[in-house]
A and B are shown apart, each in its own frame.
Chain A
Amino acid sequence: MSASVGRAVLRAAPWPTLLGGCVAAAALFGIAAALRHGALAFPLSLLGLGLCGATAAYVLDEASAEVEDATPTGRRARVAWRLPIALLPFAVGAAAVLMLDDPGGAAGWDRLVPVAAASVACGLGVASALRRSGRLAPGDLASAIAFGLVFLAVAFEPLDAWVSLAPLESPSYPLATALAWALVLLSCAAVLAACERDPGRPANRKETV
């Protein structure tokens, strides 16, 4: 796919929604920073990270995908052009938790950077799975699902018996936590790769003579 077509694919991204989501997440991080020494800073940060993932869920929205699929622009190539946009919500989330981090403080906020990455990956993964099911612009639904998944996973810690997903106050970053987030990232990448095949192209094409 030529660079000019790629730039057109980039221009067609839902920029107002993406930028609005980033601004909303930044606003939440701003409130968290204002209350950083209170008990509310952590849940506010989690909401901000959830919003970063929710914003990333809009990156793949293509209302006219049915038409575009019929043109010589592969779905994977279009997704490849769109994916760098997801760095924007990730950058907002990662920068915010790094700025919240106080090197002398008890809580290591920088440990939430993997949560920011996983949140964005989760948004993309859910969106691509929904796209595979025929929704061309699944951002609205995918964002709600991704936000709920990330927020519930970190705020309620359902896997607390095995692994803490946001170990802010442990002396060192636990290996189990790193493995858990790496697993989430890999799973989302696998879902993205599997679901963004060009429609109509069989997975294993057998050559016949």
Chain B
Amino acid sequence: MPAARSPLVPLAWIEAKRFARHPLFLTGFVLALVFSGGEYGPAELDHQFVPAFFVGLFGLVVAARLTASTRRSEAVVDAAPVSETTRTAALCAACLVPAAAALIVVVFFRLVLAIFYDPRPAYSYGVFTTGERYVILLVLPVIACLGAPLLGVAVGRWLRFPGAPLLVAVALFVWGMLAGYRPSQMGASTWPARILHMLTPYTAWIEHNGSGDLWVPTVVRSLTGSPAWFAVWTLALCALAACAALLHGAEGRVRRAVVRASCVAGAVAVTSLTLAVVTGYSVTHDSSSEGTVVSDSRTPLPPHP
């Protein structure tokens, strides 16, 4: 007698198709492509915001809505021979759809820049090495677009009040904005500022004196932290979000396994956060056509000439 096939794969496929067809997700994806169809503002390293916002945050709301959509027929769904944990795992697997969409967006942006635009001056990338640039431009947006929908699944499972997905999306946005930009206003090289700058699922890596779509900035300020370890930290946050979603309705052996996985993800998160703060850039640097110097983040950038 052949072994019973796991229902996870077909379920994940169904959920992935539901995700990909959701109008809100499609709207976000199209907007992300539109905003990536040329130079994004004056600083290329800021482009990570586009997929993180349009695909990631929109994806959070979509994932929460898809997760909550079966609530009305919960009694019927619960009678099906598939556990809630399997259904949640299928939803988590479907979150690969926004991650793939983010990959398409960042690759599209790279292609547009390579084909239609002249290379930016080297100083516009601050102190970041080529590898770090690729982490910021290609890896971090994809992880953000995986993590936010995973959080959406957890929100759909645990928070049952109306408006919860939007509220969590706004809270996430505000958290990223405050942690990304506030530390440089309070002295970026101090320990609390360095920790705050990394203690977030999304952070900024540069500030600059450019404005609008046309100006190439004359000064670019690189902020603190390690992009590579920050990527590991956000990946660990993704795992924690998935574990939080899977914990809802899990029983017995499965529950113990999820709790163990949460502990491992938590340990990885703490370690990578520590390494992101300790091994990354500890001070801010100002880069211009004349070179790179250590700067005081509280000093305003010179105005664009």
Chain A interface residues toward B at CB < 8 A? 14, 16-17, 20-21, 24, 28, 31, 35, 38-40, 43-44, 47, 50-51, 54-55, 58, 61, 139-141, 143-145, 147-148, 152, 156
Contact = CB atoms under 8 A, between A and B. Distances in A.
A21 B181 contact: no
A140 B170 CA distance: 14
Q: Which of B27, B161, B163 has the most CB of A within 10 A?
A: B163
Contacts of B163: 17, 20-21, 54-55, 58, 139-140, 143
B166 interface: yes
A47 B173 contact: yes
B201 interface: no
Given A31-B174, A47-B173, 19 more contacts: A16-B161, A17-B161, A17-B163, A20-B163, A20-B167, A24-B170, A28-B170, A28-B174, A35-B182, A40-B177, A44-B174, A47-B174, A51-B170, A140-B162, A140-B165, A143-B163, A144-B165, A147-B166, A148-B27
A40 B182 contact: yes
Contacts of B170: 24, 28, 47, 50-51, 147
B36 to A, nearest CB: 13
Contacts of B182: 35, 38, 40
A143 to B, nearest CB: 5
Chain B interface, DSSP helix/strand/loop, else mixed: helix
Nearest to B58: A148
B24 interface: yes
Given A20-B161, A21-B163, A58-B162, A144 B61 contact: yes
Nearest to B171: A24
Contacts of B161: 16-17, 20
A41 to B, nearest CB: 11
B185 interface: yes
B275 interface: no
A141 B177 contact: no
Contacts of A44: 174, 177
Given A24-B167, A39-B181, A14 B162 contact: yes
Chain A interface, DSSP helix/strand/loop, else mixed: helix
B219 to A, nearest CB: 16
A121 B104 CA distance: 35
A17 B160 CA distance: 12
Nearest to A43: B177
Contacts of A140: 65, 162-163, 165-166
A20 B35 CA distance: 33
A152 B61 CA distance: 16
A140 B185 CA distance: 36
A140 B35 CA distance: 26
A147 B35 CA distance: 19
A105 B164 CA distance: 36
A131 B212 CA distance: 39
Contact of B162 (A17, A40, A43): A17
Given A31-B174, A40-B177, A139 B24 contact: no
B178 interface: yes
Contacts of B27: 148
Nearest to B34: A158
B181 A144 contact: no
A47 B177 CA distance: 11
B104 to A, nearest CB: 21
A15 B118 CA distance: 55
B177 A144 contact: no
A141 B181 CA distance: 31
A38 B181 CA distance: 10
